[in-house]
Each structure stands twice: as C-alpha cells, then as structure tokens.
C-alpha cells in the first residue's frame, strides 16, 4: 500500500472519531442536569489499531487490523455507556430512551468502514465521469435538470458485458433503459410483470420515445437456460424466479428447434438469442399504447444483436407500418 494511501485512510478514521466526540458533546448538552465530565481517555484511539492501520501493507496483517477494530469499537461504545448512563445520574425515561437510541446508532456505525477496492472503483469511476462528461457539458445537464426527452426505450440484458450506454456511447438523456434477464419483454398483462408494463407505458405516454430497441447478445446465460429448461418433474436444478421468467421466450425456442433440427447446440443457442428478440418485439405489439404509437407513425420497433466476442452489432426494423394511403391526385381536365 502506498504511504499516501495509508495517510488518507488514517485521516478518514480520525474524522470519524471527531464526529463521535461531537455526538457525545451534543448528548451531554441535551441533559438539563449536570453529568460527569467526559472521560476522554476512554475515547482515545487505540495505539494498537493505529499501528496496524499504518504499518499494514500485506494481506497477512488483515486479521490483526480486524481484531484492533473490534477492540476499538467495544471500548468506544462501552465508554459512551459509562459516561452517559452513570449510576450517579438519574435520568428520566425520555432522556434514557434518547441516550439508548444514540448508543445503538453508534454501534451500527462502528467499526469504521475502511475503504476497499470496490468502493474505490466506484469513486474513481464517478470522478472520471464528472471530469470528462459532467463538467464538459454544463448546458446538457442544465437542460436535463428540467426534463428528459430520450428518443429510445431500450430493453437490454442485465449481463454486465452488454451495457447499452457503453455499446452505443449514449449520453445522459438519450435512452430510457430497462434491463432484465435475457432482455425479454412479456406480453401485456395487467396482473403479471407490471414493472415492464410501467416502463413501456411511461416511455410512450410520458416521454414519447420514438424508438423501442430490444438488444440480444452472444453467450446469453438466460437464453441458454431457456434452451435447457429441466423437466417439470426434475426439481434438482431449478431456480425460484429465473425459470419462470425465461419461459417468456418459449415461442422462440419452439420456432428455432422446429426449423433447425440437427444443428449443434452452440448454433441453436445463437439462433435462439436472435429469435428471442423477435419474440419480445412481437410481445410489444400486445400493448395498446405501443400499437397506437406505431399506427400514428410516431414509434418504430427495432431489434438488435450484439456479439461481444467479435465486436459486432446488427440491427433490424420490425413490423414496419405501411405508408399511409394518400388520396388520389385530381386529374387535369
């Protein structure tokens, strides 16, 4: 661990310690009667913890740090209890209750959460976004603060390898995105899958998007599960929610197996990944507001397939509505 990083962590730890002392002072000020002086000795940082925190630069010393953290936590909480609930101080029930609540809150906050690599990744990612996007486009974010006007509603898989904003380089405000297992859209049903219905309804009625895009992708675990659903009598390898969800794609599976019997499993899987997109596009037509928007010419349905193995993307337009019938032009006399 770099020295500067160790110093930063110690600094953060000291800040938390300062906050704890402030809480204690606020509690003592709350009392209308005189209490014992605060025993600052019981609240001092443990030398064992600080030494372990500063000197540790390897995985082998983590256990020592954790032990010191627990010791620090226990001593701080016990010190608070002795200070605030002394035998020499008779507290009424209301004050007693507030003190216990504060102690319980501190117990939840201690030990101090040492920053880890995962938290640092989030922090660094946000700083990069703020520097390279937010700070570079002040006018855009000023407009987004008023309202959003995305042109796309995107249904994509929850798979961490297929983020629509990354694939299409979307800027904030360009796409209204819904992600789920295997990027599936269920048929219209006012009793089941209402979260999908809410997304579609809001995107069309409120946001008035111009496009609905359903993106499939290579090596989709959800579609693979669909293709290998266990027999109804086999309860050894079932999931509580996943199996029921991917059954939305059963029509796609049936079509692929009927039309491509004998192909290797890998080829069947890829075909089903694409056909599942078409199945979802067909299900979109069961939503009345989707049909109305398409009939009026304000909405286009698009399918897409992202092959992240080869870095390839293909798209297609679905159910292109026929051009409106124009009245015959008057013939010259």
**Annotated catalytic residue within 157, 193, 225, 272:** 157
Q: What is the pLDDT of residues 143-174, one digit of tens each?
A: 999 999 999 999 999 999 999 999 999 999 99
| H/E stretch holding 211 | strand 211-217
**Annotated catalytic residue within 159, 193, 225, 272:** 159
Structure-model confidence comparison of residues 54 and 94, the more confident one? 94
What's residue 277's pLDDT? 98
Q: What is the pLDDT of residues 2-17, one digit of tens each?
A: 556 555 655 555 555 5
Q: Is 157 assigned a ligand-binding role in the annotation? A: yes
Residue 319 pLDDT greater than 90, yes or no:
no
What's residue 86's pLDDT? 54
| H/E stretch holding 302 | strand 300-307
Question: Looking at residues 37-49, what average pLDDT do you find?
Answer: 46
Phi first, then psi, for residue 114 (nearest 5°) are -65, 130
Tell me how far apart the alpha carbons of residues 73 and 51 are, in angstroms, rounded to a whole number. 16
Whether residue 161 lies in the annotated active site: yes
Whether residue 64 lies in the annotated active site: no
What's residue 238's pLDDT? 74
Tell me how far apart the alpha carbons of residues 307 and 320 are, in angstroms, rounded to a whole number. 25
What's residue 92's pLDDT? 62
Residue 93 pLDDT greater than 90, yes or no:
no
What's residue 115's pLDDT? 59
Question: Looking at residues 32-36, what average pLDDT do you find?
Answer: 46
**Annotated catalytic residue within 6, 46, 161, 291:** 161
Residues in the chain: 333
Taking Cα atoms as reference points, which of 245, 319, 196 lies closest to residue 204? 196
Paired tokens of 75: 């001593």
Most confident of 65-79, 152-166, 309-323: 152-166
pLDDT band at 138 (very low <50, low <70, confident <90, very high): very high
Residue 120 pLDDT greater than 50, yes or no:
yes
Residue 53 pLDDT greater than 60, yes or no:
no
How wide is the angle at C-alpha 20 spanned by C-alphas 19 and 22, nearest 5°?
65
Whether residue 265 lies in the annotated active site: no
Q: What is the pLDDT of residues 101-117, one digit of tens each?
A: 776 766 666 555 555 88
Tell me how far apart the alpha carbons of residues 237 and 229 are, in angstroms, rounded to a whole number. 9
Paired tokens of 126: 């946000």
The answer to whether 142 and 176 are in contact (CB under 8 A) is no
Q: In what order do the strands lie in the sheet with 152-157?
A: 175-180, 152-157, 211-217, 300-307, 312-318
Q: Is 142 assigned a ligand-binding role in the annotation? A: no
Q: Is 193 assigned a ligand-binding role in the annotation? A: no
What's residue 34's pLDDT? 45
**Annotated catalytic residue within 193, 220, 225, 272:** 220
Whether residue 192 lies in the annotated active site: no
What is each CA distance from 66 to 8, 50, 61, 70, 168, in whole angstroms? 18, 12, 9, 6, 44
What's residue 43's pLDDT? 43
**Residue 186 C-alpha from the chain's centroid:** 22
Residue 42 pLDDT greater than 50, yes or no:
no
pTM listed for this prediction:
0.64
Q: Is 159 assigned a ligand-binding role in the annotation? A: yes
| H/E stretch holding 290 | helix 288-295
Question: Radius of gyration over alpha carbons of the chain, in Å?
Answer: 30
What average pLDDT does the structure give for the chain?
79
Whether residue 272 lies in the annotated active site: no
């Amino acid at each position: 661990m770099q020295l500067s990083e160790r110093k930063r962590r110690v600094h953060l730890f000291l800040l938390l310690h300062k906050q704890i002392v402030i809480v204690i002072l606020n509690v003592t000020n709350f009392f209308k009667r005189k209490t014992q002086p605060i025993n600052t000795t019981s609240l001092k940082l443990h030398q064992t913890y600080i030494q372990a925190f500063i000197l540790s630069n390897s995985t082998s010393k983590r256990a020592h740090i954790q032990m010191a953290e627990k010791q620090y936590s226990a001593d701080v909480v016990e010190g608070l209890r002795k200070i605030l609930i002394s035998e020499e101080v008779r507290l009424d029930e209301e004050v007693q209750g507030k003190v216990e609540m504060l102690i319980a809150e501190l117990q939840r906050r201690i030990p101090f959460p040492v920053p880890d690599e995962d938290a640092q990744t989030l922090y660094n990612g946000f700083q990069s976004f703020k520097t390279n996007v937010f700070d570079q486009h002040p006018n855009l974010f000023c407009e987004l603060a008023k309202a959003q006007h995305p042109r796309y509603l995107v249904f994509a898989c929850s798979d961490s390898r297929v983020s629509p904003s990354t694939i299409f380089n979307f800027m904030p405000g360009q796409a209204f995105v819904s992600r789920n297992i295997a990027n599936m859209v269920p048929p219209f049903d006012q009793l089941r899958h209402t979260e999908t219905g809410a997304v579609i309804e809001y995107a069309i009625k409120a946001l008035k998007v111009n496009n609905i895009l359903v993106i499939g992708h290579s090596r989709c675990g959800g579609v693979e599960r669909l293709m290998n659903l266990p027999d109804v009598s086999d309860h050894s390898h079932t999931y509580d929610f996943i199996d029921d969800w991917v059954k939305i794609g059963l029509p796609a599976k049936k079509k692929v197996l009927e039309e491509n019997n004998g192909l290797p499993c890998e080829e069947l899987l890829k075909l089903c990944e694409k056909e599942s997109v078409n199945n979802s596009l067909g299900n979109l037509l069961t939503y009345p507001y989707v049909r109305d928007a398409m009939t009026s010419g304000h909405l286009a349905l698009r399918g897409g397939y992202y092959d992240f193995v080869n870095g390839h993307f293909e798209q297609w337009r679905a159910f292109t509505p026929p051009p409106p019938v124009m009245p015959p032009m008057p013939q010259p006399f």
